[in-house]
C-alpha cells in the first residue's frame, strides 16, 4: 500500500485524519509564540494526556563548618504534581475551493488562524480561568484571589509604587518575579510612569525587542484573552506555572453542518450546505497547571470614583 503523502493528497480525498507532522509542528510553534502563557510558563514534556512529575518546593540549606566538624544535612522539599491535558478545538469555515488544496498546502495556509484561535482560548483559561477545562483554582488569577496578592490601581497614587508593591508581594513569599503580562492597551500608562527621581520605569528598545518595566520583561496578550474587570497587569514567578502538549493535532472537514456559534450576514447560523462552504475542525490536547498560590500577583482596577 502506498504511504500517505500530504503533498499529493487533496483535502477532498482526506476529510479526516491527523495533521501532517511538519505542518502540525509549525502550527504549534506559532501557537507558542502567540500565547503569552506559553512564553512565560515552564514547558513540561508530555507523551500522554496525564503526567505526574516532581518539583523542588524548597531547596536544601548550607551550613558553616569548622575544621574537622561533620557537615550538617538538610532535606530539600520535593512535591509531586499531576498535570492533565484537555482537548482544545477550533472550527474554521472556508470556501469549497480549499478542498482542491493538497493536505500540506491547506494546513500551511490555515497555520495562522489555527494558532491564533488556540492561543486565544488557552490564555483566557490559564490567566483568568474563563471557560477553563482545567478545574477550579488552577488559573493564575484564581491563585491570586486565594493569596490576596493584589494592589489596586491608584491606591498608592503612583504607578511606579503600585508596580513595586505588586513585585514585593511575590518577594514576601521568598520568590522572585520574572515577568509581567498585560495588554498593549496598558502601554500608555506604563510609558508615563516615573520613579521618585522622575526617571521613566518603562523601557522600549524598539525593533520588536521585548519591553520591560522595573527590570522585568513584559509579555503582551491578545486583548480578547484579557479580563480587564479583574486585572490590568499580572506578574509572578512563572516557573510555578506549567504547560504541556502531549499529542499531535487531528482534523475533520464537514460540508453539511450548521455552525450555531457563527452568524451569517442575515444574523442566522451559517449553513455550510446552503452557502456552499466547508468547515475545518482541528483539535489538540493541551495541559496547564499552577504549583503555588503565592507565586503570582495582580494590579487590579481602580476603585470606582477614584478617577485612576
pLDDT digits (tens, 9 = 90+) for 68-81: 666 555 555 778 88
CA 42 to chain centre: 11
Tell me if 225 is assigned to some domain.
Answer: yes
Indicate which CATH number applies to the domain containing 245.
3.90.1690
**Spatial distance between the Cα atoms of 6 and 21, rounded to a whole number of angstroms:** 10
Alpha helices in 89-215 (DSSP H): 103-123, 140-147, 159-172, 187-192
Tell me if 5 is assigned to some domain.
Answer: no
Tell me if 224 is assigned to some domain.
Answer: yes
Tell me if 8 is assigned to some domain.
Answer: no
**Which secondary structure element, helix H or strand E, spans residue 29, and what is its range?**
helix 21-34
pLDDT digits (tens, 9 = 90+) for 167-211: 999 999 989 999 999 999 999 999 999 999 999 999 988 777 889
Mean pLDDT, rounded, for 292-300: 95
Tell me if 9 is assigned to some domain.
Answer: no
- What is this structure's pTM? 0.85
- Residue 241: CB partners within 8 Å, gap ≥ 6? 37, 40, 41, 42, 126, 140, 288, 289, 290, 291, 295, 296
Counted domains in the chain: 1
pLDDT digits (tens, 9 = 90+) for 47-101: 899 999 888 776 555 556 656 666 555 555 778 889 999 999 998 888 888 888 8
* Range scoring the smallest mean pLDDT among 117-126, 198-207, 232-241: 198-207
The whole domain housing 150 covers 17-300
Tell me if 306 is assigned to some domain.
Answer: no
**Spatial distance between the Cα atoms of 64 and 274, rounded to a whole number of angstroms:** 80
**Spatial distance between the Cα atoms of 13 and 16, rounded to a whole number of angstroms:** 9
Q: What share of the chain is helix, strand, coil (3-state, %, to 5)?
A: 30, 30, 40
Tell me if 97 is assigned to some domain.
Answer: yes
Amino acid at each position: 500500500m502506498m504511504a500517505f503523502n500530504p503533498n499529493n493528497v487533496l483535502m477532498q480525498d482526506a476529510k479526516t485524519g491527523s495533521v501532517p507532522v511538519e505542518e502540525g509542528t509549525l502550527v504549534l510553534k506559532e501557537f507558542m509564540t502567540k500565547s503569552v502563557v506559553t512564553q512565560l510558563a515552564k514547558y513540561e514534556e508530555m507523551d500522554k494526556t496525564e503526567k505526574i512529575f516532581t518539583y523542588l518546593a524548597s531547596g536544601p540549606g548550607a551550613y558553616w563548618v569548622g575544621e574537622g566538624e561533620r557537615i550538617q544535612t538538610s532535606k530539600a522539599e520535593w512535591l509531586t504534581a499531576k498535570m492533565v491535558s484537555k482537548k482544545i478545538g477550533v472550527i474554521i469555515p472556508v470556501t469549497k475551493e480549499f478542498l482542491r488544496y493538497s493536505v500540506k498546502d491547506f494546513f500551511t495556509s490555515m497555520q495562522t488562524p489555527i494558532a491564533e484561535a488556540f492561543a486565544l482560548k488557552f490564555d483566557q483559561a490559564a490567566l483568568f480561568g474563563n471557560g477553563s477545562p482545567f478545574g477550579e483554582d488552577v488559573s493564575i488569577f484564581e491563585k491570586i484571589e486565594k493569596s490576596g496578592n493584589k494592589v489596586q490601581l491608584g491606591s498608592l497614587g503612583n504607578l511606579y509604587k503600585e508596580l513595586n508593591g505588586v513585585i514585593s508581594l511575590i518577594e514576601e513569599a521568598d520568590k522572585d518575579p520574572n515577568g509581567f503580562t498585560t495588554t498593549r492597551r496598558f502601554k500608555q500608562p506604563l510609558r508615563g510612569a516615573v520613579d521618585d527621581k522622575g526617571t521613566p520605569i518603562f523601557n522600549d528598545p524598539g525593533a520588536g525587542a521585548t519591553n520591560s518595566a522595573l527590570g522585568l520583561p513584559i509579555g503582551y496578550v491578545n486583548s480578547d484573552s484579557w479580563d480587564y474587570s479583574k486585572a490590568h497587569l499580572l506578574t509572578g514567578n512563572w516557573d510555578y506555572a506549567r504547560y504541556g502538549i502531549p499529542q499531535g493535532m487531528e482534523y475533520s472537514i464537514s460540508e453539511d453542518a450548521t455552525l450555531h456559534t457563527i452568524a451569517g450576514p442575515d444574523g442566522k447560523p451559517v449553513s455550510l450546505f446552503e452557502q456552499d462552504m466547508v468547515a475545518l475542525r482541528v483539535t489538540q490536547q493541551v495541559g496547564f497547571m499552577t504549583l503555588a498560590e503565592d507565586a503570582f500577583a495582580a494590579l487590579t482596577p481602580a476603585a470606582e470614583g477614584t478617577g485612576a
